[in-house]
Amino acid sequence: MDFDGVRVLVVGDVMLDRYVSGSVRRISPEAPVPVVAVRRRWSVPGGAANVARNLLRLGVTARLTGLAGRDADGEELRAALAAEGLKDSLVYAPARRTTCKTRVLAQGQQMLRLDEELCAPPAAAELAALRERALELLPGCGAVVLSDYGKGVLLPDADGVSLCAAVTEAAEALGVPVLVDPKGGQWERYRGAQCVTPNSAEFMRACGEDAGAAPDAARRAALAARLCGDYAFARVLLTRGAKGMELYTGQGLLCRCPARAREVADVSGAGDTVVAVLAACVAKGLPWEESVRVANTAAGVVVGKTGTAPVTLSELRAALRENAENPKLFALPDLLEKVEDWRRKNETVVFTNGCFDLLHPGHVSLLRQSAAQGDHLIVGLNSDASVRRLKGPTRPIQDERSRAQVLAALNGVEAVILFDADTPLELIRAIRPDVLVKGSDYTEATVVGADLVRAAGGRVFLAALTPGCSTTGIVRKIDAGPQDGEPGN
């Protein structure tokens, strides 16, 4: 799957998502609140800007417009978008502040969120500028996303003029589908959309029901059909969290996708990922049912990440083929993103490496000792070409994919990455592990990458060896055949 040549326009509430991460070891003597020892700060594009960011990571050409203030947060957002490779198409409003959400994290959990925002419809001049910008960006796009966070950009102005209506009308004239990530219970402004993607609470509020109600399948289908009829929607994609997704038309249920079982780290931005991937697939020309299945897979990936984070194309591809291939085998860009996610939680990254051909008790012991040195163990695995250079033309016995699959099946191994060089030096330089592990037949002075790890504040651990265990010895025994007194095959 790829999205070469696909273009998607995103219109909506852009914001800056800021994070402050640290650890908690005590309660404040001034008040009964935890004290966070701050270790790291970062910020990323949020809201509609995160939808565009997700599109970019998929290889889609994303176009974005929304309102931002002429303030420090607006400049930071603009710089973050530029860093993502997104040309700045925002409308800057001097009288409006840039929406900023600051989340305080400790031990990987969100403790507090601070919102700085102005939730108000755009002024007439702002609305006119937004409309002009959106209609300039629309031609050539295969889909439009209206990303509504209730901050005002997609609300009607004082005269009842709606940016949603203007964009939907222009898109319909060009045959471009409009997808809406909605907010609130007043959906008239989304009239005529090809698809709206509410969560359960938003869905129930729009239907005039209790947001916490849990209707059965027949009732959900009836409510979705009513929404399609009331607002001329072609489809409603109901996102139900751990219960998966359901796609409805005015005639009833079109498809249901169960949630993929994953450890949930953070649901921030999951809705952005769903609508972005859905729009990308629809713009590519995939059927709606298939597009929903792909979006559901992407949602399963993104909830395993900390903070507002996009899904990359390679992650999506890996997740789509997860049942057939090794989900723990990473390409370097994806592994580095996973490592960054672990570091945001202040978790320790351990690295070891080897050929791991014909896995034996010595390998198992090394990996067990390695995993005990921190929170996450990465194993660098010599490629077949690398093993041949190191061990000779008859090795490896098992190819790299087989060796990677066996390693991934072991408890404690969280990631496997192949490398083609004779040593893992460049891999260590890129990953920057907190702990580097080799067997005790090495000294710290002879461990490749030890100086890099120590210079960055990490450490080297020399694991105890298991006597009499080596792949070379096993191969020699096999080559020698049965000895006297031993049974043959």
Is position 100 within any domain?
Answer: no
Dist CA 449 CA 447 (whole Å): 6
Tokens of 182: 């909605």
> Largest Cα–Cα distance in the chain?
98
Q: Is the pLDDT of residue 263 over 70?
A: no
What distances in angstroms separate CA 388 from CA 158, 230, 448, 478, one per listed residue? 73, 67, 19, 19
Q: Total domain count for the chain?
A: 2
Note whether 452 and 365 are within 8 A (CB): no
Tokens of 346: 């202040």
Asked which of 266, 288, 323 is the last residue of a domain, the reply is 323
Tens digit of pLDDT for each residue in 319-372?
A: 776 634 577 888 887 788 889 989 989 999 999 999 998 888 889 999 999 999
389 in the same domain as 312:
no
Tens digit of pLDDT for each residue in 64-77?
A: 999 999 999 999 99
Is position 317 within any domain?
Answer: yes
Q: Is the pLDDT of residue 154 over 50?
A: yes
Task: Supply the DSSP string of 231-261, one letter for each residue.
Answer: HT-S-EEEE-GGG-EEEEETTEEEEEEPPP-
380 in the same domain as 295:
no
Backbone angles phi, psi at 67, to 5 degrees: -105, 140
Range of 404's domain? 329-476
Tokens of 137: 């960006």
Mean pLDDT check: name the lowest of 206-210, 216-220, 310-314, 465-469: 465-469
Is position 31 within any domain?
Answer: no
406 in the same domain as 367:
yes
Tens digit of pLDDT for each residue in 401-434?
A: 899 999 999 999 999 999 988 999 999 999 999 9
Q: Which of 13, 272, 357, 434 is catalytic?
A: 272
301 in the same domain as 335:
no
199 is in an annotated binding site: yes
Question: Which CB contacts under 8 angstroms, 24+ apart, belong to 73-80?
Answer: 73/16, 73/97, 73/98, 73/100, 73/116, 74/98, 76/16, 76/43, 77/14, 77/15, 77/16, 77/45, 77/49, 80/16, 80/43, 80/44, 80/45, 80/49
| Average pLDDT score over residue span 85-97 | 87
pLDDT of residue 324: 42
408 in the same domain as 350:
yes
| Average pLDDT score over residue span 290-296 | 89
Burial class of 409 by CB neighbour count within 10 A (0 to 12, 13 to 18, 19+): exposed
Note whether 68 and 74 are within 8 A (CB): yes
160 in the same domain as 267:
yes
Query: What's the chain's length in residues?
Result: 489
338 in the same domain as 217:
no
CATH code: domain of residue 394: 3.40.50.620
**57 — pLDDT class (breaks 50, 70, 90):** very high
341 in the same domain as 199:
no
Asked which of 279, 298, 323 is the last residue of a domain, the reply is 323
Tokens of 88: 């700045």
Q: Where are the alpha helices (DSSP H) in 345-470?
A: 361-371, 384-391, 400-408, 425-431, 450-455
Dist CA 43 CA 306 (whole Å): 13
Tens digit of pLDDT for each residue in 363-397?
A: 999 999 999 999 999 999 999 888 999 988 888 88
Is position 413 within any domain?
Answer: yes
pLDDT higher for 229 or 256?
Answer: 229
381 in the same domain as 319:
no
CATH code: domain of residue 52: 3.40.1190.20
Is position 486 within any domain?
Answer: no
In 3-state terms, what secondary structure has residue 223? helix
What distances in angstroms separate CA 282 from CA 5, 148, 330, 473, one per listed residue? 13, 20, 28, 56
Is position 255 within any domain?
Answer: yes
In 3-state terms, what secondary structure has residue 65? strand
200 is in an annotated binding site: yes
Query: How confident is the prediction for the chain on average, in pLDDT?
Result: 89
384 in the same domain as 315:
no
Q: At what angle do helices 288-302 and 270-284 cross, to 10 degrees?
A: 150
374 in the same domain as 360:
yes
| Residue 134 burial (CB count, 10 A) | 25
pLDDT of residue 264: 55
| Residue 103 CB contacts under 8 Å (≥ 6 apart), including other chains | 17, 18, 19, 20, 110, 112, 113, 114, 268, 307
Dist CA 444 CA 297 (whole Å): 43
Task: Supply the DSSP string of 451-468, one letter for each residue.
Answer: HHHHHTT-EEEEEPPPTT
279 is in an annotated binding site: no
202 is in an annotated binding site: yes
306 in the same domain as 360:
no
Nearest to 348 by CA among 433, 415, 429: 433
Please say if 420 is a catalytic residue: no
Asked which of 278, 297, 323 is the last residue of a domain, the reply is 323
Backbone angles phi, psi at 107, to 5 degrees: 50, 35
pTM, 2 dp: 0.67
pLDDT of residue 203: 94
Is position 26 within any domain?
Answer: no
Q: What single DSSP character describes residue 70?
A: S
Is position 451 within any domain?
Answer: yes
Dist CA 107 CA 347 (whole Å): 8
Mean pLDDT check: name the lowest of 12-26, 43-57, 392-406: 392-406
| Average pLDDT score over residue span 250-272 | 74
Facing residues of 252 across strands? Answer: 249
| Average pLDDT score over residue span 206-219 | 89
Dist CA 274 CA 317 (whole Å): 15
Residue at token pair 């991460």: 21
